[in-house]
């Protein structure tokens, strides 16, 4: 039955997609040249093989060298400032006893004219140095939401009665120290979004400013997160050998950056589907209702040069052998790539891959090596085994996995 | 009377603007630090003095060295491909005798999988090597519009009965060889915009693709224009010592790039207002109707790192002593900067500055050294002496000026 469904789905795709495919993404000239700038560029992007793509034929030694290359390239791309030293130490600005844990709020000072904040949830049972989790939220989320606290403004308050949202609180309840940050531009770091009673944070304008200045949203927010990570490693109650990074949705992006840059990180929680964003840009070519081909996402995801070096599956593969859990699937193709890396370093047990419940059975998943062009968002998600309504923090998978690592 | 108008305008601005100014663009902390990412970044941008800003105190010798520095920085920022040699020669694919000139259509081959096109308008009276003008259109315009020809698709046809549009035809009628190009992504280089009966070219998606790949729309389109320029210099009927670049609106951006990179260009027609885009981004902070602060323009204008080195007035100043005409004004402040450069190299007569007719009298123009924050688009344009409805190709100013140079 599922196979017939999949066949029908493909036939439907071909019918829906074909007319768009033929709209100048193939050159109709005998010499194969494109006159459409879009046609030329999308073809170029399709043919751009990132210089540091994971190669399953690497030897173990070559793999370790490749890891260093990935780290060096990531450092170049993220452009962390070189001469921004002697920053003041973070300062605890409030402490509150909660039910089973202490909630602290801290300020840190990543640049001379900038202050940022994070929350610490310290379970009462923590006495000596203990493992800790750095929690990075999704795009519509905040550190307050992660901690189960009301938002900085009423309109920023999330569904904090749900453990699908309160990642940091879930960890604290499970006995782990949790540190929660905001994404640059969101929550307490937002601008005037609360005046319009909105938690739709305006990432675009800050991303644009950063890009104009030669940086990127991901470089900036990862740099801030790195300061919090440094502070975590410096405290006397966090076991710096057991720091876990936990990223939800957008938060998986800085998580990957920090993971590559800091080899001290112990393990990773990847709570989104594992996406090949280069391929997504190449195949989501279906015109929108205005007749334009949209780009799959906003410029907060724009990282100049990233695809010249790697895609997310490559980056994640470079984290081997450190433990990682994926909670929201991917194409089996991409999970296999990551598993291959973990196998290479004899650590296959350190990678745990869950699909969305809807696609947990292999026969319900599409097995695709190369996605076709002409997809819209909905078709794309279906093809890569993503069930958008079930996108949430999966504490039910994550906490037992962390327990199994640490207890 | 005009002075009273200006005073009233300022009072109105302060009343309109003040509430927004206070919305977190000033830090309300004793230490002056920003918690809002936007507040921090906009302040950083405001305090970023480009490394190659024009300095009126430079000696003549220092000025020439600075010109070389501007050229070197522009080459770095524009990232023209290094290993893209041995391109096929352009090919003439059609020739048509028109009333007083021959219209040729040419193909050129800027990349192995890419073809692009340009038009040549050769007046009948041209016999020997003659001056020529490379015409670069605005964002909604095409080479066909510049040449007075119907669009590639009906919906791309412009107001070709108006010499406010037909830049290249205007030059040809005045006896000059005119070469007209498309902007990358527009007209014949567009994608599927004609299906929605639209001449709103989708620059955003191609700009995004280019930025992801580490390039920029301006770098790409300038590279294409540079190939046409090379061809112009190679023909036996164009006097390569008298090539003029003429840019309308968006087309002024590649014009500046080519002007800086190629010292052989003889003269420049700058048909837009001379804008300090860095300052514009800093001051246009007024929230839109959705309560968001917009960025002043789309990502086709996003050129990573540009503002770290210069702004348009600096770039134009670096063109001295080569003749240039501005047809649509600016702040007097910015014209004075450019004139200072031309004076320094004893070429003040080579710079001709016209304001919009509405602001031709000095007493009607605002004299502003530093614009205030909190502006929307309309207020900004008024403050920099721009009259948007009168934005068109000003052949009435340009042709006599070129005649005065060449005849």
As given in the structure block, the two tokens for residue A16 are 């829906």
Give me the sheet containing A101-111, strands edge to edge.
A91-97, A101-111, A114-123, A177-181, A130-136, A238-248, A267-271, A324-326, A351-353
CB contacts of B208 in chain A (<8 Å) are 295, 299, 302
Between strands B177-181 and B130-136, the pairing is: parallel
Q: Which of A35, A196, A287 sits opposite B291 (nearest CB)?
A: A196
For the segment B220-241, the average pLDDT, to the nearest whole number, is 97
Question: What 3-state class would DSSP assign to A107?
Answer: strand
pLDDT in tens, B64-76: 999 999 999 999 9
Beta-carbon separation of A304 and B305 below 8 A:
no
Q: Which of A36, A111, A304 sits opposite B190 (nearest CB)?
A: A36
Judge contact between B192 and A23, C-beta under 8 A.
yes
Beta-carbon separation of A35 and B117 below 8 A:
yes
Question: What 3-state class would DSSP assign to A405?
Answer: helix
Sign of CA dihedral A61, A62, A63, A65: positive
Q: In this predicted structure, what is the pLDDT of residue A16?
A: 55
Q: Which of B32, B213, B294 sits opposite A48 (nearest CB)?
A: B213
> How many of the other CB atoms lie within 10 Å of CB of B79?
17
Residue to test with chain B: of A76, A212, A216, most B Cβ within 10 A: A212
Q: In this predicted structure, what is the pLDDT of residue A9?
A: 66
Q: In this predicted structure, what is the pLDDT of residue A98?
A: 98
Shortest alpha-carbon distance between residue A167 and chain B (Å): 23
Q: In this predicted structure, what is the pLDDT of residue B10?
A: 64
For the segment B332-338, the average pLDDT, to the nearest whole number, is 98
Ranges of H-type helices in A124-261? 143-147, 167-173, 203-212, 217-234, 252-261
CB contacts of A302 in chain B (<8 Å) are 208, 211-212
Which value does ipTM take for this structure?
A: 0.94
Number of A to B CB contacts under 8 A, please give it.
Answer: 193
As given in the structure block, the two tokens for residue A145 are 């939401």
Name which of B296, B302, B318 is nearest B219 in CA terms: B302
Share of chain A above pLDDT 90, in %: 89
CA-CA distance, A253 to A259, in Å (whole number)? Answer: 10
Name which of A169, A165, A174 is nearest A126 in CA terms: A174
Would you say residue A17 has pLDDT above 90? no
CA-CA distance, A292 to A225, in Å (whole number)? Answer: 36
Beta-carbon separation of A214 and B308 below 8 A:
yes
Q: In this predicted structure, what is the pLDDT of residue B28?
A: 86
Distances B159 to A381, B29, B199 between C-alpha atoms, Å: 44, 55, 12
Shortest alpha-carbon distance between residue A128 and chain B (Å): 33
- Sequence-ordered list of residues with C-beta below 8 angstroms from that of B329, at least 6 positions apart, any chain: B273, B274, B335, B353, B354, B355, B356, B359, B365, B384, B385, B386
> How many of the other CB atoms lie within 10 Å of CB of A337?
22
Beta-carbon separation of A213 and B44 below 8 A:
yes
Sign of CA dihedral B257, B296, A182, A232: positive
Beta-carbon separation of A212 and B290 below 8 A:
no
Judge contact between A164 and A211, C-beta under 8 A.
no
Name which of B240, B231, B107, B246 is nearest B174 in CA terms: B246
Share of chain A above pLDDT 70, in %: 94
Distances B353 to A43, A269, B171 between C-alpha atoms, Å: 44, 61, 20
Block residue for tokens 């400013």: A209
pLDDT grade, residue B21 (50/70/90)? very low
Closest chain B residue to A184 measured between Cα atoms?
A: B37
Would you say residue A20 has pLDDT above 60? no
């Amino acid at each position: 039955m599922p196979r017939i469904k999949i066949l029908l789905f493909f036939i439907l795709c071909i019918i829906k997609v074909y007319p768009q495919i033929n709209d100048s993404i193939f050159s109709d000239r005998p010499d194969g040249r494109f006159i459409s700038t879009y046609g030329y560029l999308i073809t170029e992007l399709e043919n751009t093989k990132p210089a540091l793509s994971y190669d399953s034929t690497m030897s173990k030694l070559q793999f370790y060298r490749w890891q260093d290359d990935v780290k060096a390239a990531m450092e170049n791309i993220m452009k962390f400032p070189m001469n921004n030293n002697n920053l003041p130490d973070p300062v605890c600005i409030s402490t509150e006893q909660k039910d089973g844990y202490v909630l602290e709020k801290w300020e840190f000072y990543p640049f001379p004219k900038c202050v940022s904040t994070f929350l610490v949830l310290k379970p009462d049972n923590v006495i000596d140095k203990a493992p800790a989790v750095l929690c990075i939220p999704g795009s519509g989320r905040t550190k307050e939401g992660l901690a189960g606290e009301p938002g900085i403004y009423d309109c920023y308050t999330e569904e904090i009665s749900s453990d699908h949202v309160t990642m940091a609180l879930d960890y604290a309840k499970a006995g782990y120290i949790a540190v929660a940050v905001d994404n640059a531009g969101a929550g307490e770091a937002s601008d005037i979004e609360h005046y319009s009673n909105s938690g739709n944070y305006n990432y675009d304008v800050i991303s644009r400013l950063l890009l104009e200045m030669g940086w990127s949203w991901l470089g900036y927010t990862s740099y801030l997160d790195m300061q919090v990570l440094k502070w975590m490693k410096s405290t006397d109650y966090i076991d710096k050998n057991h720091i876990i990074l936990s990223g939800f949705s957008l938060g998986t992006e800085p998580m990957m950056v920090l993971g590559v840059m800091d080899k001290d990180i112990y393990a990773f929680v990847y709570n989104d589907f594992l996406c090949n964003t280069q391929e997504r840009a190449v195949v989501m070519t279906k015109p929108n209702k205005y007749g334009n081909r949209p780009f799959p996402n906003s410029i907060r995801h724009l990282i100049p040069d990233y695809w010249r070096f790697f895609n997310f599956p490559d980056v994640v593969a470079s984290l081997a052998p450190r433990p990682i859990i994926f909670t929201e699937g991917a194409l089996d193709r991409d999970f296999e790539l990551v598993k291959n890396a973990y196998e290479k370093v004899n650590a296959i047990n350190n990678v745990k891959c869950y699909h969305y419940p809807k696609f947990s059975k292999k026969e319900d998943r599409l097995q695709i090596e190369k996605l076709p062009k002409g997809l819209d968002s909905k078709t794309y998600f279906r093809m890569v085994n993503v069930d958008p309504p079930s996108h949430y923090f999966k504490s039910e998978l994550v906490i037992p996995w962390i327990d199994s690592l640490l207890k």
